Amino acid sequence: MKLRKVTAASAAVFALALTATACGGDDSGDGGSSSSGGGEKIKIGIKYDQPGLGLKTPDGSFSGFDVDVATYVAKELGYEPNQIEWVETKSADRENALSRGDVKLIAATYSITDERKQKVDFAGPYLLAHQDLLVKADSDITEATDLNDKKLCSVTGSTSAQNVKNDFAPKAQLSNRGGYSECLSALQSGQVDALTTDDSILAGYAAQDQYKGKFKLAGLKLSNENYGIGVKKGDTETVNKVNAALEKMVSDGSWEKAVEDNFGPANYKNEPAPKIGQLVK
Ligand code: GLU
């Protein structure tokens, strides 16, 4: 994502997060195949409110690392960019969106977990991120143990919210919202003391022009989040094709370019490209 785009988009992030709905598309139930003049389409689920990863900009375009990865994969599957229909898939909606056939693929900061693998299949991983905390610049929260009795915001249906309870801050007062941009508003207004999710997402928020100097990442690696491309359970053919596309994306340099374009402006220090099928636990 170009810095200019991030800046232009930032003002609308909250409005978008409030108004956008996670609606699926046609009745075909296979996440694609709706031929409406422009040839066959593929429906791909992304986030709409996560700058640097998946963002719907005010002019109606889409940007971010997940968008670039999905666009590359779609091309390898035989779909040009104008044949992609982007669909917002919030954290809690992802498994259902795939099962129902609302979308063919999901590239939405979607961590591969054993629990989710009961319901969907994954290609990848294509990025390794780590859970972290975003706090106000003057906050004295520096460790997970500082969160006891503090108000912490995360998102329903995310590993971020799950890990708080299971692992590092069972005594925090966890408040879950529908999307991370809603948590960011709550952090800014002082309703919560910290926002927790993947460092990749938090870095994108902190780097937006209107937040420069206002927030900081704690820099804790509280978990390993292996991002996969979600596919309907049992669709092994698509998983194999997407894996081949991801391998090609890394080997021809497009993965690195997408990293620089999208994470460069946020100064996010990403991990190297993961190997397909190898999860960091
Ligand atoms: N990667 C984590 C997850 O899949 C957190 C980010 C998100 O909610 O999309 O739950």
| Per-residue pLDDT at 96 | 98
Kindly tell me if the per-residue pLDDT of 15 is higher than 90: no
pLDDT on residue 28:
52
Residues whose beta carbon lies within 6 Å of some atom of ligand 1: 91, 108-111, 155, 158-160, 197-198, 225
Threshold 0.85, pTM exceeds:
yes
Tell me the per-residue pLDDT of 31-88, one tens digit each, with 9 for 90 and over.
Answer: 765 444 457 999 999 999 999 999 999 999 999 999 999 999 999 999 999 999 999 9
Fold match between domain 42-128+225-266 and domain 130-217: yes
CATH architecture of 42-128+225-266: 3-Layer(aba) Sandwich (3.40)
CA distance 269 to 218: 14
Ligand 1 centroid to Cα of residue 104, in Å, is 19
Q: Which of ligand 1's atoms lies nearest the C-alpha of 180?
A: 8
Q: CATH 2.40.50.140: does it fit domain 130-217?
A: no
Residue count of the chain, please give it: 281
For the segment 214-246, what is each residue's pLDDT rounded down to a tens digit?
999 999 999 999 999 999 999 999 999 999 999
Sheet bearing 151-155, strands edge to edge = 173-177, 151-155, 194-198, 131-136, 215-217
Residue nearest to atom 9 of ligand 1 (CA): 109
Q: How is the chain split into domains, by residue range?
A: 42-128+225-266, 130-217
Q: Work out the percent of the chain whose per-residue pLDDT is above 70.
A: 87
pLDDT tens digits along 145-169: 999 999 999 999 999 999 999 999 9
Test site for ligand 1: of 50, 91, 153, most ligand atoms within 8 A of the Cβ: 91
Instruction: Indicate if the pLDDT at residue 131 is higher than 70.
Output: yes
Ligand 1 centre to CA of 148 (Å) is: 22
* Mutational test site, ligand 1, from 89, 155, 222, max ligand atoms within 8 Å of CB: 155
The pLDDT value recorded for residue 146 is 97
